[in-house]
């Protein structure tokens, strides 16, 4: 009952917020309603995380599922939603032409958050799939919100590619269910636990086919290469707060789905094949991301490829399996959410300041914006996995876990590709900071408000802290999360 009430509040608050925003139709009100929403949601997700049960909690007439991993993903959603809501106030005010439609934007953003708060709590894989589908629909409209040709193009590609991919996942879910009917009879409740319980009785070929279909399907949503083609478009064309939410929370949820299906294959006793398949996709993603980051000029496109890279790292982490790599992957999730939000906020600021998406136009960033530019640079160091930031610790842990796994070769590939990406990133930032002076008259004059910089600070502090100090409690939580059903 305790969790049911929390979860109900978690959904009802944003829903009421959306209704209020659409009813009042005033931009200023919408800004703060959304912010209030986000604060409440963050508080609730934090409460759920702290109170997270030791075991998988099932409630709401078998429809709700709360696991440590799920609570963790949920917390990432709440956190990124809060940061993005603060930032959105500053960022959207820089787009005066959108002011009349601003309440719609905030309603959509809250709706996007709501769909993401629903998905990780679903105990029914089918309904989980539907929730993921709804996140796609809502976020596609956010991506296309500015209604420029590029934005609409990106939104269209996003919607069509991800829908097609998710259709594969649905097929996989039906095959999983079909595999269960041989043991449990024609009608049984479609839940993660049931699928996992029946997995040992399902023939290998069916189990593996179903898993591969869901892997490709949800992998499209995660943006694993080679199904990643929508990701750079959608992440680079949406407003910056939306990009942060897409990258920092939505991808995690899809990955959670993959991990849950992986656990079914694990339970069936064919885990090694499933883990290796996920691992291979992760390595391919890392490779593709590395190639595209080297030759990238769009700031947000580069960050989008960086998301691809980090999803690859997460896929490798979960693909390694084992408690150490798993803990590293969970740690990586939160670090990536924070750092990527920071990076998208910085990129959004610079795009507005220089009036261009191209990094070749953003010159002497540190000279004109010593504080927010500096934070952005530090974020770039952090996102490439350099010490002393959180991503360094988590990537190192994943590598450590990988050496003990069945696929130690991937450790070396991953290390080399990470170094390549680090070099490419630093090269881009070197040019932005020490490159030639901007043309006269093109020097940025925009003054960034507190709303633009505050979320960057809020994101930066935790990644520094998490990089210097991995709390013992968190480690134990991760170890515990590994042992219970995901």
Partner 1 sequence: MLIFHLGPLAASLFSLLAILALVLSFVMLASHWLKNHIYAFAVESWVIAAISASIGYYGHYPELYVIAALTVLFRGTLLPYLVLRLVKRLNVNREFTPLLKPSSSLILGAALVIFSYEVAHRLGVALHLQDNIAVLALTCMFSLKLIGFLMMILRSEAISHILGLLVIENGIFLGSQILVPGMPALLELVIIFDLLTIVMAFGMLVRFLQSHAGTTSSRGLQKLVG
User: What is the distance between the alpha carbons of residues 96 and 17, in angstroms, rounded to a whole number?
Assistant: 23
Closer to partner 1 by CB, 39 or 137: give it: 137
Q: Output the smallest distance, CB 354 to partner 1, in A.
A: 20
Q: Output the smallest distance, CB 414 to partner 1, in A.
A: 24
User: Which residues sit opposite 59 in a β-bridge?
Assistant: 64
* H/E stretch holding 59: strand 57-59
Binding interface with partner 1 (CB under 8 A): 124, 126-127, 130, 133-134, 137, 140-141, 144, 147-150, 152-157, 159-160, 163-164, 167-168, 170-171, 174, 177-178, 181-182, 185-190, 203-206, 209, 232-233, 236-237, 292, 295-296, 301
Which residues are CB-neighbours of 185 under 8 A, at least 6 positions away?
A: none
Closer to partner 1 by CB, 332 or 357: give it: 357
Closer to partner 1 by CB, 87 or 344: give it: 344
* 242 alpha-carbon distance from chain centroid: 11
DSSP per-residue codes, 320-372? H-SHHHHHHHHHHHHHHHHHHHHHHHHHHHHHHHHT-SBGGG---HHHH-HHH
Closer to partner 1 by CB, 165 or 467: give it: 165
CB 232 within 8 A of CB 143: no
Q: Output the smallest distance, CB 349 to partner 1, in A.
A: 22
Q: Which of 312, 313, 320, 228 is nearest to 274 (CA)?
A: 320
Closer to partner 1 by CB, 134 or 475: give it: 134
Q: Output the smallest distance, CB 159 to partner 1, in A.
A: 6
Question: What are 211's two structure tokens?
Answer: 């898993």
Q: Output the smallest distance, CB 366 to partner 1, in A.
A: 27
Please provide the distance, in angstroms rounded to a whole number, between the alpha carbons at the two ends of the chain: 21
Helix (H, G, I), strand (E, B) or coil at 65: strand
Which residues are CB-neighbours of 350 under 8 A, at least 6 positions away?
A: 299, 362, 365, 369, 373, 376
Q: Output the smallest distance, CB 150 to partner 1, in A.
A: 5
Closer to partner 1 by CB, 56 or 174: give it: 174
User: What is the distance between the alpha carbons of residues 52 and 45, in angstroms, rounded to a whole number?
Assistant: 10
Q: 445: exposed, middle or buried (C-beta count within 10 Å: 0-12, 13-18, 19+)?
A: exposed
Closer to partner 1 by CB, 21 or 122: give it: 122
Q: Output the smallest distance, CB 428 to partner 1, in A.
A: 14
Q: Output the smallest distance, CB 133 to partner 1, in A.
A: 6
Closer to partner 1 by CB, 189 or 468: give it: 189
User: What is the distance between the alpha carbons of residues 273 and 107, in angstroms, rounded to a whole number?
Assistant: 43
């Amino acid at each position: 009952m305790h969790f049911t009430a929390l979860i109900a509040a978690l959904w009802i608050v944003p829903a009421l917020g959306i209704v209020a925003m659409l009813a009042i139709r005033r931009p200023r009100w919408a800004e703060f309603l959304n912010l209030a929403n986000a604060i409440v949601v963050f508080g609730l997700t934090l409460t759920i995380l702290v109170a997270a049960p030791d075991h998988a909690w099932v409630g709401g007439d078998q429809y709700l599922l709360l696991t440590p991993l799920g609570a963790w993903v949920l917390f990432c959603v709440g956190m990124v939603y809060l940061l993005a809501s603060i930032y959105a106030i500053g960022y959207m005010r820089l787009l005066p032409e959108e002011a009349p439609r601003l309440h719609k934007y905030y309603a959509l953003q809250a709706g996007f958050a709501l769909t993401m708060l629903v998905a990780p709590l679903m105990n029914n894989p089918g309904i989980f799939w539907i929730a993921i589908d709804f996140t796609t629909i809502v976020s596609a409209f956010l991506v296309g919100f500015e209604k420029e040709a590029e934005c609409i193009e990106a939104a269209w590609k996003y919607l069509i590619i991800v829908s097609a991919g998710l259709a594969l996942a649905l097929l996989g879910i039906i095959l999983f269910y079909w595999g269960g009917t041989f043991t449990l009879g024609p009608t049984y409740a479609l839940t993660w636990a049931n699928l996992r319980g029946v997995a040992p009785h399902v023939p290998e070929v069916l189990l593996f086919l179903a898993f591969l279909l869901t892997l490709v399907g949800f992998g499209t949503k995660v943006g694993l290469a080679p199904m990643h083609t929508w990701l750079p478009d959608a992440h680079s064309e949406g407003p910056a707060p939306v990009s942060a939410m897409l990258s920092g929370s939505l991808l995690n949820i899809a990955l959670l789905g993959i991990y849950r299906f992986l656990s079914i294959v694990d339970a069936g006793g064919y885990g090694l094949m499933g883990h290796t398949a996920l691992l291979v996709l992760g390595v391919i993603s890392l490779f593709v991301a590395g190639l595209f980051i080297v030759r990238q000029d769009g700031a947000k496109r580069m960050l989008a490829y960086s998301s691809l890279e980090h999803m690859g790292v997460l896929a490798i982490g979960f693909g390694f399996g084992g408690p150490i790599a798993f803990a590293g992957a969970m740690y990586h999730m939160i670090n990536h959410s924070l750092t990527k939000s920071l990076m998208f906020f910085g990129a959004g600021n610079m795009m507005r300041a220089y009036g261009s998406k191209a990094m070749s136009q953003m010159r002497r960033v540190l000279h004109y914006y010593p504080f927010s530019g500096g934070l952005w640079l530090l974020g770039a160091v952090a996102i490439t996995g350099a010490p002393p930031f959180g991503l360094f610790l988590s990537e190192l842990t994943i590598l450590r876990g990988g050496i003990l796994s069945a696929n130690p070769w991937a450790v070396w590939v991953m290390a080399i590709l990470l170094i390549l990406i680090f070099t490419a990133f630093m090269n881009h930032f070197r040019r932005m900071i020490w490159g030639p002076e901007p043309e006269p008259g093109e020097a940025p004059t925009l003054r960034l408000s507190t709303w633009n910089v505050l979320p960057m600070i809020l994101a930066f502090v935790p990644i520094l802290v998490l990089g210097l100090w991995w709390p013992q409690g968190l480690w134990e939580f991760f170890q515990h999360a590994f042992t219970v059903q995901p």
